[in-house]
């Protein structure tokens, strides 16, 4: 008898990203290059920022009559661009950060991010998104991330230069061990 697929089971995650039990050596936790085994995810959506105005942000609330869904927000592998299973969520008019909270929570669960040493999450509004993140998302809340997982919020280099000067510290991805640019 066939069983229905479980959440995220119909999608494959990035084949080359570190996945314990799939593509990592047995001693991966003891290696000096442990930064190689962090999960790198990125989120994308249209939220209004108070520190910068982009045309896409100004246009985000233009809704066509009869539509309940105004777009999607997604979480993907920041290294290779593969979408995370269960990491895409519908947006509604007046979207809120909770849409990304849900997408990130579901992506962490479906990709088993808690089995890795940590998560580096890039998002163009991390200067605001990370402020109350742990009050909204935690191990004992409906939206959760693994309790033992280290979490680092970063703004991608493309977006950080459009922010205020105080946001630049979150854009120093290139200064982090194991985080480098690729062409």
Of 166 and 92, the one with more pLDDT = 92
Of 64 and 148, the one with more pLDDT = 148
Note the pLDDT of residue 33.
Answer: 76
Q: What is the C-alpha to C-alpha distance for residues 111 and 136, in angstroms, rounded to an integer?
A: 21
Asked whether the beta carbons of 122 and 173 are under 8 A apart, the reply is yes
Contacts of 46 (CB under 8 A, 6+ apart): 56, 57, 60, 71, 91, 95
pLDDT at 182 exceeding the cut of 50: no
Of 179 and 119, the one with more pLDDT = 119
Look at residues 31, 11, 7 and name the one whose alpha carbon lies nearest to residue 20. Answer: 31
- Domains of the chain: which residue ranges? 64-175
Look at residues 42, 18, 34, 33 and name the one whose alpha carbon lies nearest to residue 115. Answer: 18
Look at residues 90, 61, 63, 53 and name the one whose alpha carbon lies nearest to residue 74. Answer: 90
pTM given for the model? 0.79
Look at residues 149, 104, 147, 156 and name the one whose alpha carbon lies nearest to residue 125. Answer: 156
Note the pLDDT of residue 20.
Answer: 87
Mean pLDDT in residue range 27-52 = 76
pLDDT at 49 exceeding the cut of 50: no
Asked whether the beta carbons of 106 and 7 are under 8 A apart, the reply is yes
Q: With bands split at pLDDT 50, 70 and 90, how would you rate the model's confidence at 48?
A: very low
Contacts of 72 (CB under 8 A, 6+ apart): 45, 88, 89, 90, 91
Q: What is the pLDDT of residues 80-133, one digit of tens each?
A: 999 999 999 988 875 678 899 999 999 999 998 889 889 999 888 888 888 888
């Amino acid at each position: 008898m066939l069983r229905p697929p479980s959440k995220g089971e119909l999608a494959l995650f990035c084949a080359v990203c570190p996945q314990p039990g799939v593509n990592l050596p047995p001693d991966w936790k003891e290696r000096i290059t442990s930064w190689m085994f962090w999960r790198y995810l990125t989120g994308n959506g249209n939220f209004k920022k108070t520190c910068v105005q982009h045309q896409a942000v100004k246009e985000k609330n233009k809704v066509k009559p009869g539509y309940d869904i105004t777009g999607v927000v997604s979480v993907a592998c920041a290294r290779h661009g593969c979408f995370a299973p269960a990491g895409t969520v519908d947006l509604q008019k007046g979207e809120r950060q909770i849409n990304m909270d849900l997408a990130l929570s579901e992506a962490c669960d479906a990709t088993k991010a808690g089995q890795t040493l940590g998560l580096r999450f890039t998002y163009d509004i991390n200067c605001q998104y990370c402020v109350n993140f742990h009050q909204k998302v935690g191990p004992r809340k409906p939206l959760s991330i693994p309790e033992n997982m280290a979490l680092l919020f970063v703004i991608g280099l493309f977006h950080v230069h459009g922010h205020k000067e105080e946001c630049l510290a979150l854009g120093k991805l290139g200064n982090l061990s194991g985080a480098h640019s690729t062409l």
